[in-house]
Structure 1
Amino acid sequence: MKNCIGKDLSKIPMPVNFSEPLSMLQRLTEDYEYADILDIAAKMGDPCEQLAYVAAFTISAYSTTSDRTGKPFNPLLGETYECDRRDDLGWRAINEQVSHHPPMVAQYCEGKQWNCWQEFTMSTKFRGKYLQVIPLGMAHVEFTNSGNRYSWRKVTTTVHNIIVGKLWVDQHGDMEIIGKGKAAGIKCHLKYIPYSYFTRDSQRRVKGVVMDKSGKVKWIVNGTWDQQVEIAKVTGNTGTPSNPIYETGASIVAWKRRPPPEDCEKFYNFTLLAAQLNEPEPGVAPTDSRLRPDQRLMEEGEWDKANQEKLRLEEKQRAARRQKESEAELAAAEGRPYDSYKPIWFEQTKEDNSDVVHHVYKGTYWNCKEKQDWSMCPDIF
C-alpha cells in the first residue's frame, strides 16, 4: 500500500480481499434505495418545496456508506448492470461502463413520474492515512409532469485509517443543486460538515437552504446523512441580511433511514436492496455484472479462484485495448478514419456551445432484452 501513496488508485489492480461482491455499477444503483422520496417530490406544485425533497433524496444516497468500507469491483469496459424493480419499487435502471481511462459509468433510471440520469467519474487521492474520492460527474432528475429539472454533483468521500485501525467513512463539502428547465433560477445549497473531535454538534451533519429565483430562502434542510433529514418552510426572518435567523413552520421528516437487516455485519453491512442486487437473473445482457466470474466466486467464498479470475479478466481487457491501439495506429499510417470505442446503450454527445462530452441513453436496452437480441454486446467475461 505504501507504494501507492500519491497515486490514482483507479489504475492500480487490487486483490478482491479489499472488495465487496458488488461492482461500481451495482453500487450506484443503490442511490435509488429511497427513490420513493422522488415519487413524493413529483406531486409537489411548488418548485422550492419539490427541491427540498430532491435535496433529501441526494442525501439519502450516502446512508449506506456510514458502515460500508468494502471497495466495489471496478467495472470492465462495456460491462452493464440492469435493475428492473418496477413491480415493487416503481423504477428500473440501466448502467454501462462507457470509458476505462478515466473510468466512467453512465446510468439512466426511469420512475413513474421522473427520470434520473448521471455520469459517475472520479479522481482519487491516497495519502497513506486516508483515501479521498472526489466525484466529477453530474447527476440529474427531471419530473415528467412539470418539466422541472435539477442537477447536482456529489460531495467528497474520505475513507480514514487505511493502514492502521478501523476503517471509517466521512462525507464533506458543499453541494449545489441547480434548477433547470421550468425550475430555472431556484437552487439549494447543502453543506456536509466534516467529522470533528471538537464539536458538540451531532456528527455527519448536513444543513442547507432552498432559495427562490430572487435568492430568498424558502425552505431549510437539516439532518444527518446516515439517519434522517427534516425540511421546514421559512415563515419569517428576525435577523439581519448578514446574520439571518429564520422562523419556520413545523418540520417534515423528508427521509428516514430504514434499520439494516439483522446480522448484516456478517454480509458486508449490506442493506436488503444491496443484498438483492447480485441475485442471478435469467435474460440479462451477457455483459451484466451478475455474470462476472471473479465477483461471483468471491461471493461464494472462493477467494483464491476469484483473484485468479480477476487477473484473467484484467489481462483480457488489456489485450483488447492493445489490439484497438494497434488497429488505430495502422489506420493512421494508412490515412483512413478509425472508429474509437463507442458505448452500446449510451451515445456520446457534446453539450450545447461547449466541448463538454456527456452520455445520453439511447432508449434501446429494454427492447433488446424483450427480443433477447444481444448481438451487439462485446465478449468481456
Structure 2
Amino acid sequence: MSNNNNDTIDIEPTEEQLATEQHYYSHLQFKADESTLKEKGISRGSILMDVVKQLRTGADLFRISLPSALLAPISMLEYISYFIRPQSYILSAHKAFDPEQRFVSVLKWWLSNTSHTPRGGIMQAKPYNPVIGEVFACKWIHKDPSSGEISKTEFITEQVSHHPPMASGVLLNRKSNLLLNAMIKPKSKFHGNSASIVLDGNITMRFLNQPESEIYDIVFPWVVAKGLIWGTQCIEINEDLKITCAGTGYSAKIQFKADNEIKGSIKKDGNRIYKVRGNITGEVRIRSVKTKKESVFFDAKDLEHAPWFVKKVANQKSNESRRVWHKVTKALADGEFEEANVQKNLIEEKQRGLRKKREESGQAWKQDLFKLKEGTEDEYLFKYDLNSEEYKSKSLGDFIDFLKEDEEEIVFAKKL
C-alpha cells in the first residue's frame, strides 16, 4: 500500500488529484429535462403515476425497483457524502481548550451542511440502491484560511447489508484529529405527493486529541422532496437536528420549519445556554442566554466547500460505486432510459444470482472493511485501528487495496 502523507498535499492539483473526476456532467444539476423525455416518448408523470398506483402511503422506496427515468445518477453511498462534507471551521475545533467551543463548532458544522444540501437536480430523484459490498470513497482538500495549512479529509463507506439496507462509513482528518463513524440505515418513505429520505442509524464523532469520553452523537433531520405529482417541486429539511455529548453534558436540538426557517438551543446539563435561530439558506444567529449578546453564527452565502475528489471510474475497484453503476449512469446522462433499465436489471439479476449461490452453499456474506461490533446485531465498525502503529500513517484511501475483486470485472477494466 502507498503511504499518502498529508505533507505532500498541495491545494494546487497534483497528478493524483488530476487523476480524479466528477462525471462529465454535473451530478448536482443532473435531471433529464422534459424535452429529452418527450423525444424518447417518455412521460415522467405517467411513469410516476404508474408507480404510485402500486404504492401505499409510508412504503419504503429503497425496497422498490424504480424505472430509470425516476432515478438519480448516483449511489446512495455517494449521496451520504453530501451530508457530512467538512467545513473549514471544524478543522481547527480540536485546538479549542474549552469543550463548549468544541461543541458549538460541531453544531455549526452539521447545521451549515444543511444549508448547502442540494435542493434540485438529483435530489428530486431516487439514488441507486447500493449492492452488498459496494464501496464509495472520496476526499476533500482543505487550506486553513488563517494558517494556510493544508490537510485532507477522507471518507469511505461500505454497504454492509442489503436486507435491510445498511451502510457503514468512516471519515478521517489526521491533522485535525477528526474521526467520524457512521452506521446508516437509509429509508425513503412515500407520502403521496412527496417522499422523504431519512438517514436513520448512528453517527458518532470525536477529536482524537481529546478525552475518549467526549463523543458526539448526531441525529440528522429528514430530507423531503415535495411536488412529486402536482405543484412546485422542491426539497426541504424537516424534523430536528440533534447533537449530544454525554461526556461534557452539552446538547443541542434545532427544529426545521417551513421556508428553511430554524429555531433551537444549546444546553449544558439540561440548562439552556444559547438560542439559535434564522434561515439556513441565509443568515443564522446565535444568542447567549446569560449575556444576551447575539451574533452571526454563519451566513450561507459565505460558506465555501473544499475541493472534492473521487477516483476516475477506470481506476476504481470493481465494487466501487461509480464503477458498479457507470453503465447505468452514462445511459441516464445520454437520455437512453431503456438502456439504463437494461443495465440496471443486469446488476440486480447478478446480485440475486450471487445471493442465491451464497444461500445454497450456506456461506454468509463477509464485509471487506467493516466488522460487526461484538454484542450487537446491526452495528459495524471499521476493521482496522486507525491509531495503531501499523495503520496510523495510512490514509483511508490505502484500505481500498483490501477490497475483494470480481474476476469478470478485472478483465472488463482493461476495456475502460
TM-score, length basis structure 2: 0.71
Q: Which runs of 5+ in 2 are unaligned?
A: 1-50, 144-150, 410-416
Q: Describe the shift of the 1:87–1:50 C-alpha distance in structure 2 as closer, same or farther (beyond 3 A).
A: closer
Residues 1:129 and 2:150 aligned together: no
- The answer to whether the Cα contact below 8 Å between 1:37 and 1:254 also exists between their aligned partners in 2 is no
- Any idea what the Cα deviations from partners look like across 1:216-245, whole Å, max 9, x if unmatched? 222222233334433343334xxxxxxxxx
- Any idea what the Cα deviations from partners look like across 1:79-118, whole Å, max 9, x if unmatched? 1111133476620111111111111111111022211121
Secondary structure at the aligned position of 1:286 is classed as coil
Identity of aligned residues (%): 22
Q: Describe the shift of the 1:177–1:52 C-alpha distance in structure 2 as closer, same or farther (beyond 3 A).
A: same
Could you tell me which amino acid in structure 2 is paired with residue 64 of structure 1?
Answer: T
User: How many pairs align?
Assistant: 334
d(CA) in 2 for partners of 1:122, 1:361 = 19
Which residue is 1:199 aligned to?
A: none
- Any idea what the Cα deviations from partners look like across 1:105-148, whole Å, max 9, x if unmatched? 11111022211121111333313222233332121110122233
- The answer to whether the Cα contact below 8 Å between 1:132 and 1:156 also exists between their aligned partners in 2 is yes
Which residue is 1:43 aligned to?
A: 95
- Any idea what the Cα deviations from partners look like across 1:16-46, whole Å, max 9, x if unmatched? 2222222111111122434323214323322
Q: Describe the shift of the 1:216–1:142 C-alpha distance in structure 2 as closer, same or farther (beyond 3 A).
A: same
CA shift for structure 1 position 165 = 3.0
Secondary structure at the aligned position of 1:142 is classed as strand
Secondary structure at the aligned position of 1:310 is classed as helix
Which residue is 1:3 aligned to?
A: 54
Could you tell me which amino acid in structure 1 is paired with residue 226 of structure 2?
Answer: H
d(CA) in 1 for partners of 2:283, 2:317 = 36
Residues 1:288 and 2:332 aligned together: no
- Any idea what the Cα deviations from partners look like across 1:322-358, whole Å, max 9, x if unmatched? 2222223xxxxxxxxxx5212110111146xxx4531
TM-score, length basis structure 1: 0.77
CA shift for structure 1 position 282 = 5.8
d(CA) in 1 for partners of 2:377, 2:262 = 30
Secondary structure at the aligned position of 1:13 is classed as coil
d(CA) in 1 for partners of 2:367, 2:87 = 27
- The answer to whether the Cα contact below 8 Å between 2:108 and 2:297 also exists between their aligned partners in 1 is no
- The answer to whether the Cα contact below 8 Å between 1:109 and 1:116 also exists between their aligned partners in 2 is yes
d(CA) in 2 for partners of 1:21, 1:152 = 28
Provide the aligned C-alpha RMSD in A.
3.0
Residue of 139, 148, 154 corresponding to 1:84: 139
CA shift for structure 1 position 370 = 4.7
- The answer to whether the Cα contact below 8 Å between 1:26 and 1:277 also exists between their aligned partners in 2 is no
Residues 1:253 and 2:297 aligned together: yes
Residue pairs, 1:1-381, within 5 angstroms:
1=51, 2-6=53-57, 7-62=59-114, 63-67=116-120, 68-86=123-141, 90-111=152-173, 112-147=176-211, 148-181=214-247, 183=248, 185-193=249-257, 195=258, 203-213=259-269, 215-236=270-291, 247=292, 249-254=293-298, 256-257=300-301, 280=312, 283-291=315-323, 292=325, 293-328=327-362, 339-350=363-374, 355=376, 357-363=378-384, 370=398, 373-374=401-402, 376-378=404-406
Q: Tell me which protein shows more helix as a share of its residues.
A: 2
d(CA) in 2 for partners of 1:105, 1:159 = 22
Q: Describe the shift of the 1:359–1:86 C-alpha distance in structure 2 as closer, same or farther (beyond 3 A).
A: farther
Secondary structure at the aligned position of 1:5 is classed as coil
CA shift for structure 1 position 210 = 1.3
Secondary structure at the aligned position of 1:29 is classed as helix
